[in-house]
Structure 1
Amino acid sequence: MKTKKIYLAALLLAATMTTACEEWLKIEPQYEITDTDLYKNTAGYYKVVNGLYRQMSEFSLYGKELSWGMTDVWARYYAVDPASDYKSYPQMYNLEYDAKEAASLASAAWSAGYKVIAQANDLIANTEKTDAGFFTYDEVDRNTILGEAYAIRAMMHFDLMRLFGASLEVDADGRYIPYVTTYPSTVNPPIPNREFMGKVIDDLKKAQGLLETYDVEVNPSYATSTTNRFFASSNPAQGKFYNNRGTRLNYYAVTVLLARACLWAQETDDALTYAQEIIDLVTAKKLQFATSSSILNIPKMFDDLLFGFYHEKLVETFEPYANNTNPRQLAIDDKPFFTTPTNDYRKNFLNTSTNFLKKYTVSVTEEKDKIIPNIRISEAYYIAAECLYKTDMTTAAADLMVVRKARGYSSPALSGSMSEEAFWEALTYEYRKEFIGEGQLIFFYKRTNRPITFSEGNFDHKGKLALPIPDSESAI
């Protein structure tokens, strides 16, 4: 019997961007595999899930531009050379989004992001129509695969909105990008900002409920234990697919992602609920913070890291940008900020002799060196503090102090008597210190509509922190 052929790019279905309305989510032929091979057994589903993460780790997405590259340039972490032959970074630094090179970066992120969404939608459709009994581990497999697919779809939509849409603080009802839930898909008009975020949160809630089966009920240690979360020495009983939960959107990472999305959507009560769930786990010692010694030797702080992307070529890709003879170098802009006070262990994020970031230059192990941090426990404390500061400054200050003490920075202490402006100064300090090289800071500035802080003071972006929709996609 003849089988219909489905084409995969790098073990994934990839979407072409030929026209705005009809072909932007269709299949680009690279090499082919039959549909019966793709979804004929549990191993095939595993491959599709793994392929999604591989695609998200491309340089145009979290492998570079949405981590230590474009987004951190945008946040002015780096002293970007305006004469650099890599023009896109100086253009992003100066908010020159319409310039050719910067527009190319934006277009690549848009295209790659919606390719991920297309494949996630195909995986969701196939998994939902398949009974649990089909899978090797029944409901455990089905729920984990489906939960991760929903989480990926939500996360990718959310970050595309954070790139291309306005924050709700600036324009709550504007229409920027579509939320795509079917495969194949053709016409998808942009929907209102608040409605869009409702769909992100709904998908994340589904994901969290599904992922609870394995990560909370069956085998929590592979997501809660730092040793097991990243490259455990042995596989769990369910096999290799369930190892390395820190490189997958596990239950605990999705819980922080839910808090992040709810905060963006200005749903502070829900954001606090999800953030507090993680805080309570730390209090109960089921999750842990990085210690001073681990920060000194391992600037990626794996104890704190709930989720990060894996990229084989990370070190080789970053090295040219940490070279003071390269005009494309990404030297840290505000050296005194990162090196003081001396009791803040995060000073070790910076190589003071070269002014380059150490998160991607310090050798840990061959495998851990390939991890790109994305979701941290500390973010739960920051989110909780932001949700509470207007009504309970004492608890908000205490939440920030938990992180600071874990980082060795306990004095001067923050207290419930500090002003709102002092709180925002403290929170901005935390985001700047904690997330360097991880692509999160620019979205803090965008969400709060606060000025970008860098060596020369404060830069008023005037709310202009949204990339233009690529011309070829403007009609979507």
Structure 2
Amino acid sequence: MNITKLIIGISILFSLTGCNDWLTVTPKDSLDEDQLFATGAGYRNALHGIYKNMASNAMYGKEMTWGTLDVLGQVYYAYYLPDSYESMSNYKYEDENAKTLIDGMWSKTYNAIANSNNLLSRIGSEDPSKFSGGEMEKNTIEGEALALRALLHFDMLRLFAPAKEESNTTYIPYFEKYPSTYEPNLSISEFMEKVIRDLEKAKTLVAPTDTVSERRDRLNSKNRFTMGTIDGNIEHNVTDLFEAYRGFRINYYAINGVLARAYAFIGKYEEAFNITEEIITAVDNTKQRLFSFTPNADVEENPKTFLDLLFGLSNEKLADNYTAEYNATGKLYVDHYTITFDDNADYRNTKLLTKSGTKYFSTKYLPSSINSITSHICAKLIPMVRLSEMYYIRAEYYASINDFSNAIKEMDIVRDGRECTKGRLDDIIKDEKSFRKELIKEAQREFIGEGQVFFYFKKFNQPIYSSMKESDFTLPLPDSETIL
């Protein structure tokens, strides 16, 4: 596996070395790393660098959300796609364009994992006095790095392994050491044990930062994506930027959200359900819910509907990058419009899509016409974990015990939040098959531009097109990175 070199500068820059010099770590490289981690501020910068990498175009800034992943999920009309996506849209993974995209996602993700492991290999032995926030800050940095390591590995598994485990089969490695050039491929169950272990430890480390009463309000809808004034009390103002913007970091509730996703992935629906309870009932010091659905009246200003967003990344060029695609010859027109968007009251239809001729385009990533703090947040915000997913996970739990009445109720909480017509699911969902069909349709409405639609089809082994093969859901390992 490629080893990352950390270089000190105005920002932390991360670059992959070539395969032939994996093991070349010069005294200069070691000195740079020692200098970086000599102070608590250096640990902050290293953590920030991981988030910055994750927000790059090769990862969640494009390809692992509204780019390649949504192409794989057939969110867009294949006929109108840019040429670079034609192979991926047709699941021709051996074509050069597809190989380039796959290699970029793989290498950048394992690069970010290596950076997480480098930080984790050092922070455990550090004295809390090195950090301006003491032990709480040290634990927060360690917990976030652990959670990111788990999230990144989990997404690689979801891409490069099948949804259903095959006996005596291993897929990809889980890297826990730095430096490390080799780890054995693991089975899905072995791999997921490590994902869940890291997330469980991470949430314990991060919990005091986000759940103690004097800090809880930093995660409410007014504050988690801004610097914020806590409780309107000037004495509670956030004066340290590292303690602000908790929505742009994998905070305690976001870790729980990923953990619920992980438990649902392996079929432990009751465990997943129990975790979601803490998220959906979380309140600030005024007893207002931390996470709620954005009202229809605010959607034009807030097309990312971030009131229900547990965690997102930040890319200052995001709106510009998406606008360039919007204006390009190859278009990201939304497919399945007539079938999926069948409710004219649903603001995901009326407010988050725009018509271009006879086709529809998602406006989620386009700049808002309203100039405000909220619209500026939206312009750079990359959605990662939503409240709506927690309700879908709860619905999956009820469906797993054949309680479709309560499954509908959980789905309707999201639909009510999006102002859908009431009662539409009551006569539709009657069994597991109809439940899965409607849940996938909900995901198609809810997660446009967020890279999750493909995974909903995959985990239910539901072909997106009749000609699609089950093997199309699993990406091949890049040639240059195949681990033997």
Aligned to 2:464: 452
Report the number of matched residues. Answer: 459
Aligned to 2:470: 462
Which one of 326, 349, 352 corresponds to residue 349 of structure 1?
A: 352
Aligned to 1:78: 76
Residues 386, 195 of structure 1: alpha-carbon distance in 2 compared, 3 angstrom cutoff: same
Residues 54, 396 of structure 1: alpha-carbon distance in 2 compared, 3 angstrom cutoff: same
Shift of 1:205: 0.7
What letter matches 1:264 in structure 2?
Answer: F
Cα separation, 1, equivalents of 2:166 and 2:420? 37
Aligned to 2:371: none
Deviations 1:131-163 (A, max 9, x none): 223211112101110111001101111111111
Aligned to 2:446: 434
Residues 177, 154 of structure 1: alpha-carbon distance in 2 compared, 3 angstrom cutoff: same
CA contact (8 A) 1:8 1:29 kept: no
Aligned to 1:253: 254
Shift of 1:337: 4.2
Shift of 1:174: 2.5
CA RMSD, aligned part only?
2.6
Bigger Cα displacement from structure 2, 350-359 vs 373-382: 350-359
Aligned to 2:43: 45
Aligned to 2:337: 335
CA contact (8 A) 1:8 1:28 kept: no
Classify the secondary structure of the residue corresponding to 1:375: strand
Cα separation, 2, equivalents of 1:467 and 1:26? 30
Bigger Cα displacement from structure 2, 67-76 vs 361-370: 361-370
Cα separation, 2, equivalents of 1:27 and 1:130? 23
Bigger Cα displacement from structure 2, 169-178 vs 302-311: 169-178
Residues 386, 339 of structure 1: alpha-carbon distance in 2 compared, 3 angstrom cutoff: closer
Which one of 402, 407, 411 corresponds to residue 400 of structure 1?
A: 411
Bigger Cα displacement from structure 2, 353-362 vs 64-73: 353-362
Aligned to 1:55: 53
Taking the TM superposition and a 5 Å limit, the aligned residue runs for 1:160-175 are 160-167=156-163, 169=164, 171=166, 174-175=169-170
Shift of 1:424: 1.6
Shift of 1:173: 5.0
Q: Say yes or no: does 1:159 pair with 2:155.
A: yes
Residues 29, 148 of structure 1: alpha-carbon distance in 2 compared, 3 angstrom cutoff: farther
Cα separation, 2, equivalents of 1:73 and 1:177? 23
Deviations 1:368-395 (A, max 9, x none): 3111111101100000110121322222
Taking the TM superposition and a 5 Å limit, the aligned residue runs for 1:173-184 are 174-184=169-179
Taking the TM superposition and a 5 Å limit, the aligned residue runs for 1:267-282 are 267-281=268-282
**Length-normalised TM-score, structure 2:** 0.88
Aligned to 1:381: 391
Residues 344, 172 of structure 1: alpha-carbon distance in 2 compared, 3 angstrom cutoff: farther
Cα separation, 2, equivalents of 1:246 and 1:198? 27
Report the identity percentage: 34
Classify the secondary structure of the residue corresponding to 1:309: strand
Shift of 1:309: 1.1
For structure 1, the 5+ residue unaligned runs are none
Residues 253, 30 of structure 1: alpha-carbon distance in 2 compared, 3 angstrom cutoff: farther
Residues 140, 309 of structure 1: alpha-carbon distance in 2 compared, 3 angstrom cutoff: same
For structure 2, the 5+ residue unaligned runs are 231-236, 369-373
Bigger Cα displacement from structure 2, 49-58 vs 416-425: 416-425
Aligned to 1:262: 263
What letter matches 1:472 in structure 2?
Answer: S
CA contact (8 A) 1:72 1:441 kept: yes
CA contact (8 A) 1:262 1:270 kept: yes
**Length-normalised TM-score, structure 1:** 0.90
Bigger Cα displacement from structure 2, 211-220 vs 407-416: 407-416
